[in-house]
Amino acid sequence: MKRILTGIKPTGYAHIGNYFGAIKPAIDLSSNADFDCFYFIADYHALTSLKTKEEFAEYSKNIACAWLACGLDPNKVVFYRQSDIPEDFELNWILCNVTPKGLMNRAHAYKAVVEKNKEEGVDIDSNVNMGLYNYPILMSADILLFNTNLVPVGLDQKQHIEIARDIASYFNNKYKKVFVLPEEYIQKEVQTLVGLDGRKMSKSYGNTIKLFGTEKELQKSINRIVTDSLLPGEPKPLDCTLNKIYKLFASKQQQVEFDKKLANGLGWGDAKKELFEVANSYLAPMREKFDYYMTHYEEVEKILADGAVKARIIAKKVLQEVRKAIGVEI
Ligand code: ADP
Ligand code: TRP
């Protein structure tokens, strides 16, 4: 039996990059009876960038409802909130002490802020809190606490899983072989989905399509997809952003037909209408479930509370082994 674990940090509304890159692959894996799945809302990770308690509550709720609306079945998956697992934060501290500072200096999220600060000529650590700096250690704790074998994520998280493996090895070598070495599970076709402007879709670039926006919002986002200036009647490049997004939602047959239409000069305006149709019919049933959970949030809270109880049974066991290995418990 393999343990599968992944989390999403609620720093904004779930978008289709999160869905196709992480949520859907994780949910697909959970239908395999050989896998024991632990999926969670990485709410304490979001503290590194959120400004208000209202944002914290709103985005956490959005991600929780999103997981369920996308098909997470709480009978097959242990579904919980990171902040309900105190063992995680104890392990985080212990792991801090086997992690060389240099490893954190090389972590890409921190490095990206440092590079930006250098370009802007401000202090290199401006806007860097210790939560951001130590982010990969808490993420390692999330993973190692549950003896995780596989972590389904998008490509941008690969380095974090490598760091978790490094930290597990440092601990195992210094004390005792307690931790399983986790591996990333990255599906090639969806490892980096493009956003409206052709760059990686990301909350931080403001180029996302919200997973559970209204129809109007979906339409608006699609209208913002950047296209070239080719006129109706002129053949369109098949590797354009619009077609990449279309392919996510379409059946094989729809994809072939759409390719033909683009090659035959379909205008961008009509192409956007077709994309809206296909995306909306894919998302509408999920949106309905999402709206249900948002208005019956007490059901979601109950699912998360039950999940935390189940998760803590494993977490306590692993933490106890760790405590014994370092000499806190005999
Ligand atoms: P964001 O970059 O928008 O802040 P997160 O860091 O919250 O997204 O990502 C949550 C999960 O979704 C991660 O597993 C991440 O790899 C995946 N993900 C996010 N954006 C994309 C994308 N554009 N393509 C593929 N996967 C993505
Ligand atoms: N870092 C992930 C993100 O940016 C969220 C996350 C936190 C995570 N802990 C994790 C993902 C453990 C996989 C496993 O969205």
User: Does 6 contact ligand 2 (Cβ within 6 A)?
Assistant: yes
| Rounded to 5°, angle at Cα 327 from 311 and 40 | 15
Q: How far is the CA of 175 from the centre of ligand 1 (A)?
A: 34
pLDDT digits (tens, 9 = 90+) for 103-113: 999 999 999 99
User: Does 8 contact ligand 2 (Cβ within 6 A)?
Assistant: yes
Which residues make Cβ contacts (< 8 Å) with residue 28, sequence separation at least 6?
none
Q: How far is the CA of 263 from the centre of ligand 2 (A)?
A: 40
Question: Which among 4, 6, 13, 18 is the best mutation to test ligand 1's pocket, defined by most ligand atoms within 8 Å of the CB?
Answer: 18
- Fold agreement between 2-193+296-326 and 212-291: no
pLDDT digits (tens, 9 = 90+) for 296-324: 999 999 999 999 999 999 999 999 999 99
User: Does 201 contact ligand 1 (Cβ within 6 A)?
Assistant: yes
Q: What's the pLDDT at 113?
A: 94
Q: How confident is the model at residue 135 (pLDDT cuts 50, 70, 90)?
A: very high
User: Does 202 contact ligand 1 (Cβ within 6 A)?
Assistant: yes
Q: What's the pLDDT at 189?
A: 87
For domain 212-291, give the fold.
Answer: Tyrosyl-Transfer RNA Synthetase (1.10.240)
Question: Which among 92, 160, 180, 192 is the best mutation to test ligand 2's pocket, defined by most ligand atoms within 8 Å of the CB?
Answer: 160
Q: What's the pLDDT at 270?
A: 97
User: Does 153 contact ligand 2 (Cβ within 6 A)?
Assistant: yes
User: Does 139 contact ligand 1 (Cβ within 6 A)?
Assistant: no
**DSSP-derived pairing of the beta strands 150-152 and 77-81:** unpaired
What is the pTM for the complete model shown? 0.94
Q: How far is the CA of 38 from the centre of ligand 2 (A)?
A: 12
What is the number of the ligand 1 atom nearest to the C-alpha of 208? 3
User: Does 12 contact ligand 2 (Cβ within 6 A)?
Assistant: no
User: Does 7 contact ligand 2 (Cβ within 6 A)?
Assistant: yes
Q: How far is the CA of 274 from the centre of ligand 1 (A)?
A: 26
Which residues make Cβ contacts (< 8 Å) with residue 262, sequence separation at least 6?
235, 236, 237, 238, 240, 243, 271
To which CATH superfamily is domain 2-193+296-326 assigned?
HUPs (3.40.50.620)
The residue written with tokens 């014994």 in the block is 324
Confidence check: pLDDT of 166 > 90 = yes
pLDDT digits (tens, 9 = 90+) for 276-291: 999 999 999 999 999 9
List the chain domain ranges. Answer: 2-193+296-326, 212-291
Tell me which residue has its CA closest to atom 5 in ligand 2: 8
The full 3-state SS of the chain, as one line of letters, equals CEEEEEEECCCCCCEHHHHHHHHHHHHHHHCCCCEEEEEEECHHHHCCCCCCHHHHHHHHHHHHHHHHHCCCCCCCEEEEEHHHCHHHHHHHHHHHCCCCHHHHHCCHHHHHHHHHHHHHCCCCCCCCCHHHHHHHHHHHHHHHCCCCCEEECCHHHHHHHHHHHHHHHHHHHHCCCCCCCCEEECCHHHCCCECCCCCECCHHHCCCCECCCCHHHHHHHHHCCCCCCCCCCCCCCCCCHHHHHHHHHCCHHHHHHHHHHHHCCCCHHHHHHHHHHHHHHHHHHHHHHHHHHHHCHHHHHHHHHHHHHHHHHHHHHHHHHHHHHHCCCC
